[in-house]
Structure 1
Amino acid sequence: MEANNFIEHQYRRKLDFDNGENDILFDTIRTEVDENEDNQAKFDSNEYITSIHSKIPVETIPKIDMEFETKEEAYNFYNAYAYKVGFSIRRSKGHKGSDGKMINRTFCCSCEGRREVDNRRIIVKHHRAETRFHCLTIMKVNCHQTGKYRVVDFIASHTHVTSTPSKSHLHRSQRRLTAAQEAEIDLVDNSGIAPKDGCELMTRRAGGRESLEFTHDDYRNYLRTKRTTKVKLDETGGILEYLQRMQLEDPSFFYALQLDNEGLITNIFWRDAQMKVAYSHFGDVIYFDTTYQKNQESRPFAMFVGVNHHKQTILFGAALLYDETAETFIWLFDTFVRGMVGKKPMIILTDQDAAMAKALSFQWPQTSHRPCIWHLYQNAAKHLSVVFERFREFSKDFSRCIYDYEEEKEFLQAWHEMLEKYNLQSNNWLKRMFSLKEKWALVYGRDMFCADMMTTQRNESMNSSIKGYVSYKHNLSKKFHHFQRLFEHQRYEKLKADFKATQSNISLPLNIAILKHAANVYTRKCSKHLKLN
């Protein structure tokens, strides 16, 4: 069988350094199929390289006796040449002198050599792609004679087809992160911006992917390597370092640790000075929850939450817990009170967790414990999912029983009518909820001040705010950092609300003394709630 000759057309971009313009040229490279080489396509490498060399500046092509001050300078020069030709390089053999200085170094094409034979190849289902083609392209330098690194050997021809310049930036030796880029990636990551969006931002700023000098995979690998290094340094130690640093910056910063029998940390609670001040003003009613976000080890984060005079959600403290047992909650509630100089809330809203209820009865018996309405709705949707799907009016009737009735008699009548209307008299979950009606039905708590925290919107807002900053994918150190960002955001929102309050007055419908007094006492948000406008 005679060898077939064919023409392969390959686009190649000419780099014109005089005017900075890039012209698309068509390189026609002649190749042959050699029957003696297992019918693999080969090309005239010398003709190919000569064609490329004719299109790039002469001074960028390595030559024998060319000198460089350092081996790094030689590497960078050869790598820049490789970018124009379209291949990747790596450091190969080198020898050091008695003083430890590298006296010679060989830089080769990344396709140099052959993959070693692996005896396990027979049982491997999916073999890795071949990337070594016994390429002989090299540039060798040594510093024997003048002390400078002189080119003593240069082979330009390749045994494989190189890439076009539009793809050169994808070669491994052409991809690198500078110190400035690493710093920018750290800043973007600490701001909570996703890697995909951060890489897109840097790409646009650089003027395109080819100008960025790294890929999205390099971006993600940098973050992964950095996080892995932090974990190896012991994540618990990192958390302790964070807490101790916060205490140095804020002497009123308070944190407490609980250890197990082996001396390992199980539970952590912390609050800063501003949380303590906020609790002293707005801590009569608090909301406590452990369902915001969990970390990768499924350890719950617990939050003590309140509402300020602008009806904004504020945080009084946070905890990283080992589990959700009564013993853990007993330690946490006792620690929270110690951190708040002995003050206990008048009302606490929680989910319907039995361990939490037990701990509250032991630690805060005088505090009124009421279930969170948002969790009540979540449990109702879970236990009564079929009813919600079949009857559109059920949600409204259920909501009326919670909120609407002023008299106990009206509530009881509406409850029984709802059970009959939807044939739910034998539903065990509703029976259990009815036995606890004094804790969740507002008809039994009209005389209690709940700071607008009984609404489902308030709890959904709290969960949404935290999800915007903290993800279950974050490790513990990263989670602490992003919680601090959440705290700072909430405090800035309060600052803006305080500013607006000082720059405007409430418009009153009537010029009455009691309304003037109310306008001076209440903030704009509270005045709207009281319908002063």
Structure 2
Amino acid sequence: MEFDTEVAAGNFYQKYAKTSGFGTRLSKGHKDKNSDMMLDRVFCCSHEGKRPKDKRNMVVKCPRAETRCDCGARMKISCRQAEKYRVVQFVAQHNHELSTPSKTHLFRSHRHMTMAHEAEIDMARSCGIAPKQSIELMSKQVGGRENLGFIRDDLKNYLRSKRSIPMMQGDTGGVLEYLQRMQLEDPNFYYAIQVDEDDLITNIFWADAKMRTDFTHFGDVVCFDTTYRKHKDGRPIALFVGVNHHKQTIVFGGALLYDETIGTFEWLFDTFAKAMMGKIPRTILTDQDGRMATALASQWPTNHCIYDYENENDFLEGWSEMLKMYCLEDNKWLKKMFDIKEKWALVYGRETFCADMTTTQRSESMNSVIKKYVSYKHDLLEFFEHFQRLLDDRRYDESVTDFRGNQSTPAVTFPCKILQHAASVYTHEVYERFKDELCKGIDCKWEVDGELGKQVIYRVTPYGKTSHHLVTYDSSKNSISCSCKKFEFAGFLCSHALKILMTLNIVTIPDAYILKRWTKAAKIGNVCVSSESSQEMESKAKLSFRYKELSYLYMQLMTKTSECDEAYKIAKDGF
């Protein structure tokens, strides 16, 4: 191919890169010394080369993630032998995963705020429209954020640089129409309505396909809370939320409740389980609502509910000292709380997997986010529309983080094999937690406490502390456990266990201690949530069961394949 100018060649390669799923940057070029004309130029993949050594490594607290992996994809143009710029070299192969077309706009090279963008934003600000609302409006005008040409971070940078110079009866029909319309748009949108004796809507539960698919991957631990009341008639908004492999809060389902009775909660938990094809979480974190606890015991009797002492005796001593210090020995509420300590004291729940969450802070943080989207001025229909905006924004943030995780590797600031292994399997956020544990482990002291066959018991003492932890390593099984139960609770190894692994020169994390839910591959593959329980099931019931299960698996497939043109075509041809 030939081009009239270097700019035209660059624009072509940029367009090709955006279609193919990678970012670009300018590489080396040579100019004519006499005319200052560019003789040749190389346009390359943004993953080309290796990052040079940063002299600030000793003082940088949060180094940028590594994106370069010596990719050789490039296009070279030259006008040395012709009047026009001719392509003299083209390398199409990449040595890394390419992005899906729906996320390619996130590459730095494909983002640019034009003067027209800036003028539109300035005009919106002069009319009192907030930046967030203006970017939403502009996105709609061009058919989605991926067509906008810039992201929210670019808008923030622009503004920063600029600064530096009640449910009423009449609502019922509308709500039903809205829910039915959502189900038409998304066949796997699930909703349930409970009505009172006058056939008026009292409670509403809903979950779309993304929520249900997320639950299959990350529904092992759920936070549930009803502390937020913000819509027109003051009904509690109940949210089922969890945490994904990026440590981001995700929503599994939402509900608008008329009241908070035992019956309401029983209906809600039963409805949630039905929406998730019978799957219930391993652990649920709630507030200390007695009616909620009663409903949970009735509907999900196998669940654990929990709240930092690692030893029971230490907890009991600490509790007693607290009562004496503040003269609270006769406090009735504290006595009541102590009677149900097994439900909230972490010492009784160390072996309960909680995805590293100790309270309902996920629900509470989500409640604070809702305040930015939903107002008392909104009726129910407006509530649903604004709540959907919240979900869209959260999911876009997740998409951005997915992109970052697929296109870069956490920066390993000091040479350590086990840390490099962690960087290759964990997401950026979980890697940082793992690195913190590893760094704490370096300063721990250890000594052998005893041996039992192939098992060696180590006494590990954290730096600056007198208390110790017992770590047991079995060389025949390559298994390790610690009395602090960090792995059982959080899903990644503690500093004490890592200290012993490093001492034994074990340079990779044993496979048994890498939970898929914390890895980059957390959402790869489908999750089967139920199985046929009885061979003697009636034929009609069996037919219904199979239909539901296949529909649920189909939903997971649709949710994934709709994000990518190639996957969409493969799935469509397969069907």
TM-score after normalising by structure 2: 0.46
Bigger relative contact order, structure 1 or 2 (CA pairs below 8 A, ≥6 apart): 2
Structure label with greater radius of gyration: 1
